[in-house]
């Protein structure tokens, strides 16, 4: 089968276009296995110079936060972790955690299953591709959504319902991929459960660091529905001209990411891009736009991107924590009343922001700035 990127008559770098069926005659699609052998880069994958600016050699002086003491209730270790977290979140919204309680065998198993999924024949992968407007499923370079600045990656995403008593991830794999994928489903079910548990620990630490009720964010997110995404970045002959994932802040609340040993994740801090060295024992944590709104901008949504590699394929496992769709996102009363701060952002729901990023706007460095005028114009009675 020959698949290449869908073309359209008037390419638009930012706006979404209506999704088009994979083999529409108006365009061409990409077959990822053929693409990586091409010597020239299709123009759809070229990124502007400004987005490709080089990485600093100096590593980011990011904190590595050991969670063991906090999880065990050790006061001194907690105070130390809180201090590191507060500084990092105020500066760039990025840190790594070790002794996080997620079984390293489970992480390894999740990588094996990534390979099971991405090595499937393309027509099988397309049978569970992302449906227009949704976020679950397989995607090649998001070529059905965008026409330029395509990311050099294949992705596979699915939802995870917290408080999940009916193994929704396993159900998804069984219904979308088939019953042969039940084992894969169970690995990701367990992976998401572990990530959820860890996210609640991190929310406790974030609340302590902001001086509010320790369980405030845990309670807010306990019934949330999160998104799990597996990223596969094929090697690229023209790695200097494209990006695996362009510069962006995650619109979600908290992102817990594991990258393989190839490396490629970069974080923007002190006005430069910094490579994040892969650490098999660590999980990368990014704050997203929704958390920034939940703490009235005290902490930053982390600006990051992923570069691609000339020789080696790369994988990452990303768990995006989201509130329950209809919950109102607003900073806690005790944060606001104590400081006398004014509100930085209007109220919104995750369902609105998700709709915005899946149907109206491609998430980037300025999603929130673009979201609020859109939200207010579609809902003029909003309370801001």
Ligand X SMILES: C=C1C[C@]23C[C@H]1CC[C@H]2[C@]1(C)CCC[C@@](C)(C(=O)O)[C@H]1[C@@H]3C(=O)O
Distance of alpha carbon 98 from alpha carbon 139, whole angstroms = 31
* 315 touches 340 (CB < 8 A): no
Three-state DSSP class for 166?
coil
Chain residues that interact with Fe ion, rule: CB under 5 A: 250
Q: List CB contacts of 67: < 8 A, sequence separation 6 or more.
A: 81, 97, 98, 99, 100, 101, 201, 205
What are the φ/ψ torsions at residue 26 (nearest 5 degrees)? -70, -10
Is 259 an interacting residue with respect to ligand AKG (CB under 6 A)?
yes
Q: Is 49 a catalytic residue?
A: no
Three-state DSSP class for 95?
strand
Cβ 266 to ligand AKG shortest distance, Å: 8
Name the residue nearer to ligand X (CB basis): 141 or 177.
141
Distance of alpha carbon 251 from alpha carbon 243, whole angstroms = 19
Within 302-321, the residues that bind ligand AKG by CB under 6 A are 304, 306, 316, 318
Instruction: Mark the segment that binds ligand AKG (CB under 6 A) among 27-35, 138-146, 214-222, 257-265.
Output: 257-265
Using CB under 6 A, count the residues that bind ligand AKG. Answer: 12
Name the residue nearer to ligand X (CB basis): 130 or 216.
130
Distance of alpha carbon 148 from alpha carbon 241, whole angstroms = 13
Is 227 an interacting residue with respect to ligand X (CB under 6 A)?
yes
The site partner of 251 among ligand AKG, ligand X, Fe ion, none (C-beta below 5 to 8 Å per kind) is ligand X
Instruction: Mark the segment that binds ligand AKG (CB under 6 A) among 61-69, 218-226, 259-267, 324-332.
Output: 259-267
Catalytic residue among 86, 196, 314, 362: 314
Distance of alpha carbon 369 from alpha carbon 353, whole angstroms = 12
Within 126-145, the residues that bind ligand X by CB under 6 A are 142
The site partner of 199 among ligand X, Fe ion, ligand AKG, none (C-beta below 5 to 8 Å per kind) is none
Three-state DSSP class for 322?
coil
Binding track over 317-346 against ligand X, x by CB under 6 A: ---x--------------------------
Distance of alpha carbon 78 from alpha carbon 257, whole angstroms = 22
Neighbours of 250 (CB within 10 A): 27
Is 265 an interacting residue with respect to ligand AKG (CB under 6 A)?
yes
Q: List CB contacts of 10: < 8 A, sequence separation 6 or more.
A: none
Binding track over 16-45 against ligand AKG, x by CB under 6 A: ------------------------------
The site partner of 306 among ligand X, Fe ion, ligand AKG, none (C-beta below 5 to 8 Å per kind) is ligand AKG
* Lateral strand order in the sheet of 55-56: 55-56, 272-275, 265-269, 303-306, 245-249
Cβ 51 to ligand X shortest distance, Å: 12
Binding site for ligand X (CB under 6 A): 142, 151, 227, 245, 248, 250-252, 320, 354, 357-358, 362-363
What residues act catalytically? 314
């Amino acid at each position: 089968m020959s698949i290449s990127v869908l073309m359209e008559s008037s390419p638009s770098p930012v706006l979404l276009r209506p999704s088009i069926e994979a083999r529409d005659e108006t365009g061409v699609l990409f077959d990822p296995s053929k693409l990586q052998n091409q010597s020239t880069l299709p123009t759809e994958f070229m990124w502007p110079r400004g987005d490709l600016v080089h990485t600093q050699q100096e590593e980011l002086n990011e904190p590595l936060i050991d969670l063991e003491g906090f999880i065990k209730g050790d006061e001194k270790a907690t105070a130390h972790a809180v201090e590191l977290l507060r500084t990092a979140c105020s500066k760039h919204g990025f840190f790594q955690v070790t002794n996080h309680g997620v079984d390293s065998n489970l992480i390894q198993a999740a990588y094996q299953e990534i390979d099971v999924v991405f090595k499937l024949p393309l027509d099988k992968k397309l049978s569970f591709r992302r449906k227009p407007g949704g976020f679950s499923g397989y995607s090649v370079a998001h070529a059905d959504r965008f026409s330029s600045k395509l990311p050099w990656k294949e992705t596979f995403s699915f939802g995870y319902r917290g408080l999940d008593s009916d193994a929704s991830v396993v159900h998804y794999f069984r219904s979308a991929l088939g019953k042969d994928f039940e084992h894969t489903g169970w690995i990701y079910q367990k992976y998401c459960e572990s990530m959820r548990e860890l996210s609640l620990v991190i929310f406790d630490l974030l609340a302590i660091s902001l001086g509010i009720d320790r369980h405030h964010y845990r309670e807010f997110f306990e019934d949330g529905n999160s998104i799990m995404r597996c990223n596969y970045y094929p090697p690229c002959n023209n790695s200097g001209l494209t990006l695996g994932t362009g510069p962006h802040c995650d619109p979600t609340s908290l992102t817990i990411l594991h990258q393989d040993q190839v490396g490629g994740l970069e974080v923007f801090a002190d006005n430069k891009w910094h490579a994040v060295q892969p650490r098999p024992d660590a999980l990368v944590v990014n704050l997203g736009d929704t958390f920034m709104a939940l703490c009235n901008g005290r902490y930053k949504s982390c600006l990051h991107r992923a570069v691609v590699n000339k020789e080696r394929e790369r994988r990452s496992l990303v768990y995006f924590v989201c509130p329950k769709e209809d919950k109102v996102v607003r900073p806690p009363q005790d944060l606001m009343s104590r400081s006398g701060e004014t509100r930085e952002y209007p109220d919104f729901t995750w369902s609105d922001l998700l709709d915005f990023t899946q149907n109206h706007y491609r998430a980037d460095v300025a999603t929130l700035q673009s979201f609020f005028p859109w939200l207010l114009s579609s809902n003029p009675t909003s309370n801001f």
